[in-house]
């Protein structure tokens, strides 16, 4: 465990352990409610599924029906409908009926902005330290994300 502490100090740049009470108090004052925290967590969790994210990304600039989304994603219409239901429950997508066809689109500009900011973040040069497929899917000790998480837990 000693080497983990040394690595934490080296990574974070801290030479001594100090609690800055004024910063802790500021964080407490700016903290969101538990309810909002849970809703935000659920939103990110739902968007963390590649199929749902692919659907939401397809709806950024155009409304589409279930058949369109199934053709785009390669999923069955039933699977797309199931994913759309989850996205609709969280107000990420909305539907519009035109005769017998139901078209889906992003619920509002906030959802589009969330996707835009996320894309800007991953396209930023500082994000290049993460190997796209291996780092996200692998839970091995070679993954820098999991190394940092395991070190900071002690």
DSSP 141: T
25 assigned to some structural domain? no
3 assigned to some structural domain? no
CA 11 to CA 145: how far, in whole Å?
Answer: 13
pLDDT the model gives residue 143: 39
79 assigned to some structural domain? yes
128 assigned to some structural domain? no
Per-residue pLDDT tens digits for 76-131: 999 999 999 999 999 999 999 999 999 999 999 999 999 999 999 999 877 666 65
Count how many domains the chain has: 1
59 assigned to some structural domain? yes
Backbone angles phi, psi at 140, to 5 degrees: -75, 165
Range of the domain at 96: 34-107
CATH number, domain at 72? Answer: 1.10.10.10
138 assigned to some structural domain? no
């Amino acid at each position: 465990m000693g080497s983990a502490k040394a690595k934490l100090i080296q990574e974070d740049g801290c030479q001594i352990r100090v609690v800055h009470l004024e910063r802790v108090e500021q964080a407490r004052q700016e903290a969101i409610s538990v309810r909002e925290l849970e809703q935000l967590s659920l939103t990110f969790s739902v968007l963390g599924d590649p199929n749902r994210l692919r659907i939401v990304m397809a709806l950024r600039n155009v409304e589409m029906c279930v058949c369109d989304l199934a053709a785009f994603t390669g999923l069955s219409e039933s699977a797309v409908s199931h994913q759309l239901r989850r996205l609709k429950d969280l107000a990420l997508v909305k539907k519009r009926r035109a005769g017998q066809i139901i078209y889906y689109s992003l619920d509002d500009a906030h959802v589009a902005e969330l996707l835009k900011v996320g894309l800007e973040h991953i396209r930023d040069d500082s994000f290049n330290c993460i190997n796209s497929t291996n780092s996200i899917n692998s839970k091995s000790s070679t993954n820098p994300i999991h190394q940092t998480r395991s070190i900071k837990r002690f």
